[in-house]
Chain A
Amino acid sequence: MKKKAIIAAVSAIAIALSLAACGGGSGGGSSVAKNCTNKIVVKSAPVVTVWAWYPNMAKVVDNFNNGHKDVQVCWTNVGQGGDEYNKFQTAVAAGKGAPDVVMLEADHLANYQIQGALVDISKYGGNSVKKNFSEGAWKDVSVGSAVYAAPIDGGPMAMIYRKDIFAKYGITPPTTWAEYQQDAQKVKDAGGPLFGDLGANTPAVMMALQIQKGAMPFTYDPTKPKNVGVSLDDSASKDVLDYWGGLVKDKLVGVQDQFTADYISGVVGGKYATYISAAWAPGYLSGAGVGQGTDKGQFASAPLPQWDASNPVSVNWGGSAFAVTTQATDKKLSTEVATGLYADNASLEDGWKNQVIFPLNQGVLKSDAFVNAEVAFFGGQTVNKDIYIPAENAYKGFTYSPFQVYYYAQLQAELAKVNAGSETGSEAAAAVQKSVETYAKKQGFTVS
């Protein structure tokens, strides 16, 4: 009995040790590359650690490592968006544990730049890739002459819709938000599905839609880091929130959180006639199983509805860049990685062909193959030429706050209340303004 127990214990320990040992993998003494998701091709080269969540990142990293003898990338996916930001934020606060290069969405750069977490890569040769990007795209990652990241992709917004549902209820893509509401009502009256969805967990979409109507949520100049303008309850912001609050109240759109299994299965099942989203959305949808079954070829894209059709405004959701962190051991090599990773033709092509990125690299944006691509997810529609490139070209850039994470959390909480019917859009706008303003003052900003 006793002997048996001992044997069992010993073998359990042995199994555990051997299983865990498999995880040991490459690396060794160096504190940088312990466990890479990818293979290191050139074992002798120094290694730069990267956090990123692009769906095709594995291929991108292989492309980079195969093409570089002087440096190798060790990549980890620590989670998408918020999950990664939590980890990065923690590492920044602790002063340890950050990777050398980190993937950040454009709206989060100021958040980390103000904490001194990001390196000005222009000092390490980062400007060498400036020529590949439009002035606007480069402006989004720089402050004056300082550059805090190398842009990869953008998120020009458009409206994805179900052709089958539109055909069934006899509607054409709405060009204004007024039409969007009328069409939604029409579909509902005919017993059709929801027209769209107001997920509380995508506050960045709400912000973009408010900006589309003329809102200017923040004024912030990183060269004067103590001043910030917070204007979240102006009439445009209130109008847009009230508009969506009204759609929710009339049960024209759903209140399901996005990026969840429930939402995806709703999209697959034709529960929503439209999806207000960005150029990278098709790749995310198709990877999650959308457009492969009965819904195959049923999707199409149309320009984002406007408030004033004669005066269209283009807005953006998402789109990321690679930043070098101040914790990077070799900032020059890290800059080489930040500017060179996902910048080779093979990676970019894989990215845009699968629609997981809308590239900002001008070489791709202007290439025939990209412009005239017939996208399978949209049943062969040439969405780049017709929808996304014009939207990107018309996008004028946003100004983000240095506490964007907090702002999004507040907006998300208030959106949830609007969705629950316990608050109107205007009340939500006022509440967000109040809490963000209080927070900014508490953080020592002069708020205007």
Chain B
Amino acid sequence: MTSAPAIASPRRRTPRVPLSSTQRAAQRRRAAIGWLFIAPFGVVFLLFLVAPLAYALGLSLFTKGLATGTEFAWFANYIQAFTDPSFLRGVGFVVTFSLVLIPIQMALSLGVALVLDALTSRFARFSRLVIFLPYAIPAVIGAIMWGFLYSPTFGPLGQLFGLIGQQAPFLLDADHVFGGLINVVTWQWAGYYMIIIYAALQGIDPSIYEAARIDGASSWQVALRIKVPLVSNALLLILVFALIGTLQFFTEPAVLRPISNGGITPDFTPNLYAYTTAFSYAQFNYASAISFALGIVVFICVYIFLFATRKRGSFLS
């Protein structure tokens, strides 16, 4: 999963006034300087994003078989991807997973942020840090830890069920892996989202709710009617990044796969499928096509989402 940044919608700028020719020259010069500021990033962007992507795009247009050579194949790999049951199943999984995970995660982080915003006790400050803590733990290490905790033989769950003489469910096998992963991801990321929402809440001018208080609104009403709408921009952007991250779900299933008793297959998520196809089966061409196909899916999902919330382009200034 990728991390989401903090949020904002930049302020609108003042309308332009017609300029004189010297002003125009000065502006051209300043434009050049603007490019100069952006140049280092531009170079990095071109070298480590555009170039690899262009290369991968090129790769994805060829096919290479073990028994044949490399052939130019136009979009054959894409046609194959969008008819490949492994890929489609993976897409189906991440979409379903997003639909379940994101509401849970959002509700939890928004709830905690609202509670924390209303409390000032030392315990509240402590909780804030603890809930945020998993963000500082590498996803690999989080996954290794949960792998131990899920163990039916020596994990706490196994011992708990052992007390009542039952066999504990293994939260990574085919029947439970969905819930098992929801738990890992929620644990890892909810705190981060919470902190962003919390920071946004803290940024609200308290005098805004004074009026509502005086009108006799309860804290619940203040929270739902005033606070939540005021941080809706933050929420929206978190949602978009959570959506993108979840559709590209990769690290946790990849780390937990070897101990999942087959619950996590190599084509479990599209990203994992692309990775396996490339690095285990050496099908770099087809793997690139899968990655791009996933990119298309992500783009469509995000667009649908933004369309549904009518916030298209709100975070492009």
Contact = CB atoms under 8 A, between A and B. Distances in A.
Query: In the complex they form, do A and B come into direct contact, defined as C-beta atoms under 8 angstroms apart?
Result: yes
B259 to A, nearest CB: 5
Interface in B55-77: 65-68
Nearest to B151: A262
B151 A257 contact: no
Interface residues of A, number: 42
B280 A86 contact: yes
Interface stretch (B28-36, B186-194, B260-268): B260-268
B153 A416 contact: no
B175 interface: yes
Interface string B294-314: 000000000000000000000
A409 B280 contact: yes
Contacts of B154: 261-262, 265
A257 B261 contact: yes
A259 B258 CA distance: 9
Interface in A218-233: 225-226
B66 A114 contact: yes
B103 to A, nearest CB: 28
A213 B263 CA distance: 28
Contacts of A145: none
Interface in A236-287: 255-257, 259-262, 265-266, 269, 271
Contact of B262 (A86, A92, A261, A419): A419
Interface in B246-295: 258-263, 265-267, 276, 278-282, 284
Given A260-B258, A403-B66, A86 B266 contact: no
A90 interface: yes
A92 B172 CA distance: 33
Name which of A93, A115, A266 has the most chain B CB atoms within 10 A of its CB: A93
Given A86-B279, A262-B151, A420-B174, A413 B67 contact: no
A133 interface: no
B92 interface: no
B281 A406 contact: yes
A409 B86 CA distance: 13
B180 interface: no
Contacts of B174: 416-417, 420, 422
B279 A444 contact: no
Nearest to B279: A86
A405 interface: yes
B173 interface: yes
A332 to B, nearest CB: 28
Contacts of B263: 416
B38 to A, nearest CB: 26
Contacts of A325: none
Interface in A73-113: 82, 85-86, 89-90, 92-93
Given A89-B282, A261-B154, A445 B261 contact: no
B279 A409 contact: no
A402 interface: yes
Contacts of B262: 200-201, 257, 412-413, 415-417, 419-420
B175 A420 contact: yes
B113 to A, nearest CB: 29
A132 B299 CA distance: 60
Name which of B261, B267, B278 has the most chain A CB atoms within 10 A of its CB: B261
B65 A93 contact: no
A288 B22 CA distance: 78
A405 B261 contact: no
A170 to B, nearest CB: 26
Interface string A206-225: 00000000000000000001
A86 B277 CA distance: 10
Interface in B200-222: none
B280 A256 contact: no
A262 B282 contact: no
B260 to A, nearest CB: 7
A266 B65 contact: no
A448 interface: no
B280 A115 contact: no
A165 B152 CA distance: 22
Given A82-B280, A201-B262, A115 B66 contact: yes
Interface string B147-191: 010011110000000000000000001110000000000000000
Given A200-B261, A261-B151, A409-B266, A89 B66 contact: no
A422 B263 CA distance: 12
Contacts of B173: 255, 420
A405 B280 contact: yes
A200 B265 CA distance: 11
A416 B261 contact: yes
A261 to B, nearest CB: 7
B284 A93 contact: yes
A265 B155 CA distance: 11
A90 B260 contact: no
Given A413-B266, A444-B67, A445-B66, A201 B258 contact: yes
A349 to B, nearest CB: 33
A266 B260 CA distance: 16
A200 B259 CA distance: 10
A219 B171 CA distance: 40
Contacts of A271: 153
A413 B153 CA distance: 23
A199 B154 CA distance: 18
Given A225-B67, A260-B258, A420-B173, A89 B153 contact: no
A18 interface: no
Contact of B152 (A225, A262, A403, A405): A262
A265 B159 CA distance: 14
B261 A443 contact: no
A442 interface: yes
A16 B308 CA distance: 48
Contacts of A262: 151-154, 259
Nearest to A260: B259
Contacts of A422: 174
A123 B276 CA distance: 34
Contacts of B258: 201, 257, 259-260
A38 to B, nearest CB: 27
A401 B266 CA distance: 20
Contacts of A201: 258, 261-262
A409 B263 CA distance: 13
Contact of A115 (B148, B153, B267, B282): B282
25 contacts: A82-B280, A86-B280, A89-B279, A92-B282, A93-B278, A115-B282, A201-B261, A226-B67, A255-B261, A257-B261, A257-B262, A265-B154, A402-B66, A402-B67, A406-B280, A409-B280, A409-B281, A412-B262, A413-B267, A417-B174, A420-B174, A420-B175, A443-B65, A443-B67, A444-B65
Given A89-B282, A226-B67, 13 more contacts: A82-B280, A89-B281, A90-B282, A200-B261, A257-B260, A261-B259, A409-B266, A409-B280, A409-B281, A416-B261, A443-B66, A444-B65, A444-B66
